[in-house]
Structure 1
Amino acid sequence: MTGTLITVAATGAEADKGRVPALPVTLDELTETAAQCRRAGAAVIHVHIRDDDAKPTLDVGRLKDTVAALRAATDLVVQLSTGGAVTDGFDARLAVLDAAPDACSLTCGTVNFGDDVFANPWGFVKDLYLLTKERSVVPEFELFDFGHIAALHRLLGEFGPPAGGHVHCDLVMGVPGGMPGDAATLVAAVQALPGGATWSATGIGRTTLPVLFGALSAGGHLRVGMEDTLTYSRGRPVTGNAELVQRAADLASLAQRPPMTPAQAREFLGIGPPA
């Protein structure tokens, strides 16, 4: 593949709708955002959902409705977050797969997350990985630090390749408590990945652009969105997810690696046709 996989992480579990009016939190807002981002160049949508009060939730009924609505509105690969919010329990995070998404995130270790702790002990990581294999849901391995890369090697060594047969990772960089979002760290992390793995990179907050440029120059792929940054440039808030996708798509095209279509992304990631 010579194209660039662009994933949009549209909502997340941290930002407050009251302070960020452009954040998509209702089902209608999310499906409209998905359609806009598809037109701008996204192939995958990474999904967190909110309840009627715009608070993060892992309600399985809502997740099923969200997956169905996104599939009806677009041909994007639907990737559900199994991270949820830092307060979500392990059983609720495993139950995310009951919504039968195309793909899911799978974070490979615990990390300090600002003032909080994002807990992913080995037992949970193992259980989630085995469940993805059982349900034929393709995982994206979320790596916040170098210890997570070591855990990924262990996971693959003990339990074999994932559903779909291809290992694709997302380097999450710039989280306070995780690895920094700079070029030197990105290169070192890529060199430590399992052989044959592909990767995207996510720069949180002010590391968004350094990580984006570094990933393109090193042959990687991109995740952007309002889960990861709320500022388009210094002093200018993001007006919507689509403008972050459009910037990533424009830069990928400038790098002679234009955005993949969702169909190309499915082939690349080892995901079958949409249900």
Structure 2
Amino acid sequence: MTSLPADRLLITVAPTGAETAKADCPQLPTTPEELARTAVECREAGAAMIHIHVRDHDHQPTLDGVLLKEWVAAVRESTDLVVQLSTGGSVHDPLEERLKVLDAAPDSCSLTMGTTNFGDDVFMNPWPFVQDLYQLSQERGVVPEFELFDLGQVHALRRLLGRYGLPHGGKVHCDLVMGVPGGMDGTADALVASVAALPPETTSWSATGIGRSTLAVALAALSKGGHLRVGMEDVLTLAKGVPVERNAQLVERAAELGRLAQRTPMTPDEARVLLGLA
């Protein structure tokens, strides 16, 4: 479905997220300077795309337009990584503010295909919002990554593509987000079922294992020919009692798992071909 060799592996790094407090995890990158350093380290370790949640000057999650542009610029000035902004923000962000994320002109954006119980909170993605965000991404030339938290969202993607056609660039890239309390299990069985149900238009997919499901999901994804997303947004330990000190450690581990599966980490230029950005 692409012109890339079949052995190429897209590694996306999600370095910050919106849930973990800086006070609880001082090594979390929560400033543009910290993000730029993280981007350089992760690029060297094998990442090709970076998924960004922005923090304000008090290290709190924000969708402030000026800061979004500042963080995007920080990555672009330091690396050639594909820049993907989260349109999820935090679970408390209003829908109208989340649409404005595309004003920062990222290469890619996350697009979650439905509402999900997210621990004790609710991650709101009602169908009218999903449609609005998708059409806006088409108008702005931003490539969406469809984030799928359960099988219902996989089927919703079929509905969306059937109604509005292909994304900008013509490629359909999905990320299976697994192991969130309230979403699908972080298991090989859940991954296989989700991959089997993906729309025929799908050209590539990755998987994200949250918390203790990280390694199980990564190994299952590699065995099915998928790609990987890793980072401190999703897991804060390398093993029980062993904290992650740098996002690059998680990228390095993903790259090593890929090599064991005879997969070679993509360059950002190759990722752009995969995603329809080239």
TM-score, length-scaled by structure 2: 0.97
Measured in 2, the distance between the counterparts of 1:58 and 1:269 equals 25
Measured in 1, the distance between the counterparts of 2:188 and 2:150 equals 14
Structure 1, residues 97-129: CA drift from partner, whole Å, max 9, x if none? 000000000000000000000000000000000
CA shift for structure 1 position 196: 4.1
Structure 1 segments unaligned to the other structure (5+ residues): none
State whether structure 2 residue 26 is matched by structure 1 residue 18: no
Among 212, 226, 230, the residue aligned to 1:224: 230
Among 7, 12, 17, the residue aligned to 2:12: 7
CA shift for structure 1 position 234: 1.0
State whether structure 2 residue 89 is matched by structure 1 residue 81: no
CA shift for structure 1 position 56: 0.0
Structure 2 segments unaligned to the other structure (5+ residues): none
State whether structure 2 residue 210 is matched by structure 1 residue 204: yes
Measured in 2, the distance between the counterparts of 1:196 and 1:55 equals 38
TM-score, length-scaled by structure 1: 0.98
- Read off the aligned partner of 1:69 and give its amino acid letter: A
CA shift for structure 1 position 67: 1.1
- Read off the aligned partner of 1:233 and give its amino acid letter: A
Task: Name the count of aligned residue pairs.
Answer: 272
Alignment of 1:104-143 (within 5 A): 104-143=109-148
Among 247, 264, 273, the residue aligned to 1:267: 273
**Matched position secondary structure for 2:58:** coil
Calculate the aligned-residue CA RMSD, in Å. 0.6
**Matched position secondary structure for 1:13:** coil
- Read off the aligned partner of 2:98 and give its amino acid letter: R
CA shift for structure 1 position 195: 1.1
Among 169, 174, 193, the residue aligned to 1:169: 174
Structure 1, residues 150-171: CA drift from partner, whole Å, max 9, x if none? 1100000000000110000000
Alignment of 1:38-53 (within 5 A): 38-53=43-58
State whether structure 2 residue 100 is matched by structure 1 residue 95: yes
| Correspondence for 1:29 | 34
Among 213, 216, 223, the residue aligned to 2:219: 213
**Matched position secondary structure for 1:170:** strand
Measured in 1, the distance between the counterparts of 2:256 and 2:200 equals 29
Structure 1, residues 156-202: CA drift from partner, whole Å, max 9, x if none? 00000001100000000000000000001100000000114111000
**Matched position secondary structure for 1:207:** helix
- Read off the aligned partner of 2:90 and give its amino acid letter: A
Measured in 1, the distance between the counterparts of 2:96 and 2:277 equals 25
Q: Runs of 4+ in structure 1 displaced over 4 angstroms?
A: none
| Correspondence for 1:243 | 249
**Matched position secondary structure for 1:11:** coil
